[in-house]
Amino acid sequence: MAPLRRALYALATNPQLESAVHAVAPVEELAYHAARRYVAGRTLDEALTTVRRLVDHGLAVSLDLFGEGVDDEAALADVVDGYRRAAAALGDVDGDVYLEIVPSHLGLDLGADICRRHVEELVGMLPAGARLEISAEESRRTPRIVDLTLALAAAGAPVQATVQANLRRSPADVDRLAASGVPIRLVKGAYLEPASVAHPWGEETDLVYVRLARQVHAAGSGLVLATHDRVLREALLETLPGTTVAMLLGVREDDARTLVARGHPVRIYAPYGDSWFRYLMRRLAEAQGA
């Protein structure tokens, strides 16, 4: 892991720095100006404007409310209310829009049953045809997230899982999810993990990514390639027909438009909310690579 990437990631998860940025209006606006290309908006109304713009360009969208690691009941109530409003708003968008959730943002750390109760409520609010996209988190939460996803799928919920290629446990997770018919969005993995848990960033993770993509496709589960690596993506699209591509808002938008013009479905991750600074720092960290 490159020292700069590790340092930027540490800053992304530093609540004191985030509070300091938000405390000084000119500094906050300067930082938000840098973040704006990656962020759908600070409010739901702003985010929906961004979503409609993307849909008008032939893109599918995954809408997500920023946040993670909520372990306070009062804070959780606010988060749940925010997700409710987002889920309800999807019915007013004429396009292919999913709702994405981060399990720890919906109380996973307070208890799997608490999280599942809130997630099931959101599933019930989704418009016909929409899926609930379940985000990946640190490896310490991965077993609970996989179990949650499988339980929801068994109950008939239209869910889509996210699998991190760098985690050494992922081949087994793919087997379990694919056996249950759960579509899988495959990412490389962005969290700092020990070598005992994850493959190193770079060529080793890239090779595992290719193997896992083929594993998902061979199992007949829906495959979504979530990568901005052109070489890797093009090689896989050539051999795995019917695959969707997922990309981040503000990253290589020309690629997204080109892929759509070539007939490949593209889904854009569009996050919104007040926690945009943490997301900006993570984007900067990931840009450093190995």
Q: What's the token pair of residue 4?
A: 């700069």
The answer on pLDDT for 184 being more than 80 is yes
pLDDT band at 183 (very low <50, low <70, confident <90, very high): very high
pLDDT the model gives residue 5:
64
What is the rounded distance in angstroms from the CA atom of residue 119 to the CA atom of residue 155?
A: 12
Three-state SS sequence of the chain: CCHHHHHHHHHHCCHHHHHHHHHCHHHHHHHHHHHHHHCCECCHHHHHHHHHHHHHCCCEEEEEECCCCCCCHHHHHHHHHHHHHHHHHHHHCCCCEEEEECHHHHCHHHCHHHHHHHHHHHHHHCCCCCCEEECCCCCCCHHHHHHHHHHHHHCCCCEEEEEECCECCHHHHHHHHHHCCCCEEEECCCCCCCCCCECCCCHHHHHHHHHHHHHHHHHCCCEEEECCCHHHHHHHHHHCCCCEEEEECCCCHHHHHHHHHCCCCEEEEEEECCCHHHHHHHHHHHCCCC
Any idea which fold 40-272 has?
TIM Barrel (3.20.20)
pLDDT > 80? residue 208 = yes
Cβ(235)–Cβ(211) below 8 Å:
no
Q: What is the pLDDT of residue 290?
A: 40
Q: pLDDT value at position 28?
A: 82
Q: Residue with structure tokens 């000119």? A: 26
Per residue in 250-286, pLDDT (tens digit) is 999 999 999 999 999 999 999 999 888 888 777 776 6
Q: Phi/psi at 58 (nearest 5 deg)?
A: 80, 15
Q: Where are the domains of the chain?
A: 1-39+275-290, 40-272
Arithmetic mean of pLDDT, 49-73:
95
Mean pLDDT calculated for residue range 177-204: 94
Residues 134, 159 contacting (CB under 8 angstroms): yes
Q: Give the number of other Cβ atoms within 10 Å of residue 253's Cβ.
A: 16
Name the percent of the chain lying above pLDDT 90.
78
Amino acid at 178: A
Q: Are 132 and 158 in contact (CB under 8 A)?
A: yes
Determine which of 19-33, 72-86, 134-148, 175-189 has the lowest per-residue pLDDT on average: 19-33
Stretch among 89-93, 106-110, 199-203, 273-277 having the lowest mean pLDDT: 273-277
Residue 86's closest CA among 106, 70, 104?
106
- Above 50 in pLDDT, residue 171? yes
Spatial distance between the Cα atoms of 106 and 104, rounded to a whole number of angstroms: 5
The Cα 207–Cα 236 span in angstroms is: 12
Least-confidence region, from 84-88, 189-193, 216-220: 189-193
Average pLDDT over residues 128-138: 96
> Which pLDDT does position 155 carry in this prediction?
97
How many whole angstroms separate alpha carbon 151 and alpha carbon 200? 31
Q: How confident is the model at residue 105 (pLDDT cuts 50, 70, 90)?
A: very high
- What is the average pLDDT across 4-15? 66
Model pLDDT for residues 21-59, shown as the tens digit of each residue: 768 888 888 888 888 899 999 999 999 999 999 999 999
Mean pLDDT over the full length of the chain: 92
Q: What is the pLDDT of residue 12?
A: 62
Specify the pTM.
0.91
- Angle ∠(111,115,116) on CA atoms, nearest 5: 115
